[in-house]
A and B are shown apart, each in its own frame.
Chain A
Amino acid sequence: MSVDTATVKKVASLARIAISDADAERLAPELNNIVGWIEQLGEVDTKDVAPMTAVIPNTLRLRADVITEGNQRDAVLANAPQGEHGFFTVPKVVE
């Protein structure tokens, strides 16, 4: 599988990164080179091998379903690029 300019543009769109035609052309051979290199993993026999889930065995803990740090509205919004009336604000999404 080779990565062409159209693939780069599609992936960039999935990743929500704006990309110019020139950038896509520059990135295509770079990514192709990297993807070509990682494809060597295909030669490893992984029949009957389970994919790694936890590198150090650990149990997923549960905690009581209670508020730990509530009433933090102003702290939550303190770094927002734009906030109004106690909310994050974004460009209009519904016409």
Chain B
Amino acid sequence: MSALTDLGVAAIRNGVRDGEFSAREVAEAFNTAVAGADALNAFIVKTPEHALTAADAADKARAAGETLKPLAGVPIGMKDLFATKGVQTTAASRILEGFKPEYESTVSHKLWDAGAGMLGKLNLDQFAMGSSNETSYFGNVISPWRRGEGDTTPLAPGGSSGGSSAAIAARLCPAATGTDTGGSIRQPAAFTGISGIKPTYGRCSRWGVVAFASSLDQAGPMARDVRDCAILLEAMAGFDPKDSTSLDMAVPNWEAGLSADLRGKRVGIPAEYRMDGTPAEIEALWQQGIAWLKDAGAEIVEVSLPHTKYALPAYYIIAPAEASSNLARYDGVRYGLRELADGQNLQDMYAATRAAGFGDEVKRRILIGTYVLSAGFYDAYYTQAQKVRTLIARDFDNAWSQCDLLLTPTAPSAAFGLGEKVDPLAMYLNDVFTVPASLAGVPAMSVPGGLDAGGLPLGLQIIGKPFDEQGVLNAGLAIEQRAGFTARPKAWW
């Protein structure tokens, strides 16, 4: 039998249910793996007791002959953007160091209610702002992947959910939560050879999730296969009266609906995603993905999303604008850091606290956001960006008259080395393929497709119509079955 830490969510759930192993054995195995992987810096806080308590509850329920909860015996990682009662929640920022919420986010609450346990709080880019996990106050996350035998260059696990992606790829947890504002689930999934889905905006409650850009932020699962993503998403999604943009819709049974038979489905290939400078290997993988979906029965159609090139600049107005507003709450009064020198007044305290508490990238985005919202510039930047966002969403609406799904690469490159991208703008361009779906609020998923010449994973992105997570998951499954992606990082940590 393989190691317990090699098992995914479904295998653990079924194994615990069938008595092949106890939930406690599973939790202990993952706790040991987490404790031995400090070199990856994937966790900000470890919570082995939380995982064991949930495991013991699962074992006790099974011994008593009770029907087990959907995630009974499954330990997971929790991105440190979700408020967890009594457990430090920082968004990877100094300004929240030591903050222990008195409440539980809706998504984490639902996961615990479903029987899951928590292995710890996962590192991320500070306030989820970044694509490489280099902006965390608690240090970089190192990808478990390396370029090849003997190459020890530390690589980015992607971002912002880089602790999640690194931990799952390194078998420190079978699955984890992520959040996605412009690609923060999909790009790290692609960089580390795992799967992740951003559902339709509003599927998962934002209540208790540290806010970055509220009109874009969406939680979703990350795991090593499509089925595990479906299982976790079912537990995370659902209407929440505490989130004003929560969708008041029933949560489908996505796992039961999984089918890799794509006959009758039309998959669009957007011409505008073919960009200059995209490596040939990514173009080749895209063509391979098209062949796989054809093999699964789908019809391939060429489509156009004419405003694609404006998605990134629109995003880098809208997201910082919302961030500058959301992050106004960190003022040194109610929670978190306070910097106050003798003789300073309240205004001095605000400015000193925020200067000391926010990292460089967070400050950069707050300043951009403040600038584009300031008097005299608001219409030229912010209103224009929101109009462009309407046009981008309209592009997708028009595409749906020709197709049911879209297939694109997830990222324009494989994982890059930490410290290799120093220009902020060059870093932003890494989100070129993921941002449009975020602006349109539609579900999108990354699944591993293959490896590049250096042995690093590459991902394919499937984008679907609003509320059609099932269609996205099914196309993901069709690719997964044909790609036969079994590569994994060799343990060096």
Contacts and interface: CB of A to CB of B under 8 A. Distances in A.
B47 interface: no
Interface residues of B, number: 72
A8 B310 CA distance: 25
Given A31-B371, A81-B338, A50 B390 contact: yes
Contacts of A19: 355
A17 B354 contact: yes
B102 A79 contact: yes
A6 interface: no
Given A15-B367, A91-B349, A93-B345, A55 B215 contact: yes
B393 A52 contact: yes
A78 B99 CA distance: 9
Interface stretch (B52-60, B311-319, B483-491): B311-319
B332 A79 contact: no
B381 A38 contact: yes
B439 interface: yes
A15 B387 contact: no
Interface in B322-379: 324, 328, 331-338, 340, 344-352, 354-355, 358, 363-364, 366-368, 370-372, 374, 377
Contacts of B370: 11, 14-15
A66 interface: no
Given A17-B355, A56-B201, A34 B388 contact: no
Contacts of A85: none
Quick one: which of A38, A60, A72, A79 has the most chain B CB within 10 A? A38
Contact of A46 (B367, B391, B425): B391
B384 interface: yes
Contacts of A40: 310, 313
A61 B240 CA distance: 11
A13 B374 CA distance: 12
A55 B439 contact: yes
A44 B388 contact: yes
Nearest to A1: B377
A70 interface: no
A41 interface: yes
A88 B334 contact: yes
B63 interface: no
A58 B158 CA distance: 32
A90 B364 CA distance: 27
Nearest to B441: A55
Interface string B238-264: 000100110110000000000000000
A56 B202 contact: yes
Residue with the greatest number of chain B CB neighbours at <10 A, chosen from A15, A18, A39, A42: A15
B367 A11 contact: yes
Given A27-B364, A56-B201, 16 more contacts: A14-B370, A17-B354, A17-B366, A17-B367, A18-B354, A33-B425, A34-B316, A38-B313, A38-B385, A40-B310, A41-B385, A56-B200, A58-B202, A79-B100, A79-B335, A88-B333
The 8 residue pairs across chains A and B that have the minimum distance between CB atoms:
A55-B441, A51-B386, A81-B338, A79-B335, A46-B387, A18-B355, A18-B351, A75-B102
17 contacts: A1-B377, A16-B347, A16-B351, A18-B354, A34-B316, A34-B368, A39-B313, A41-B313, A41-B381, A44-B310, A52-B389, A55-B440, A56-B202, A61-B244, A76-B102, A79-B100, A80-B333
